[in-house]
Amino acid sequence: MLHNLLIISGRGSIVLFRKSLTKALNQAPNLVAGLLTAVIKLSTKHVGLPVSYLELEQFAISVVEDTAAHAEGAAQVLRCLCFHDVDDVRTPLYSKTQFGL
């Protein structure tokens, strides 16, 4: 189940859009956006790739970044943060044999 949806600016971690679909995760959106932006920047610095999925005890966070903006050298990058149940990603959307894995 999808709980929250945030769209933030990638550089400044400013919340541009917020939609709460349940009352389970009503936290201060600016604090959450700042924390996740720091985690993404840290992982990019040390690993070379941004975080795309975080799994916690009660929920998970999927992060989607506008990669086209990176390629074009845009000043602002948008990120979408989806807060959802952990069980939502445990059900595969595809079969590994489908892609020869």
For residue range 60-75, list pLDDT tens digits in order: 899 988 867 666 666 6
Least confident among 11-20, 32-41, 43-52, 72-81: 72-81
Count of domains forming the chain: 1
- Supply the pLDDT for residue 28: 79
Q: Which of 10, 18, 26 is nearest to 78 (CA)?
A: 10
Spatial contact of 64 and 89, defined as CB atoms under 8 Å apart: no
Kindly report the CATH number assigned to the domain that includes residue 75.
3.30.450.30
Q: How confident is the model at residue 45 (pLDDT cuts 50, 70, 90)?
A: very high
Q: DSSP letters along 30-50, please?
A: HHHHHHHHHHHHHHHHHTSS-
**Entry pTM:** 0.74
Full domain range(s) for residue 76: 2-99
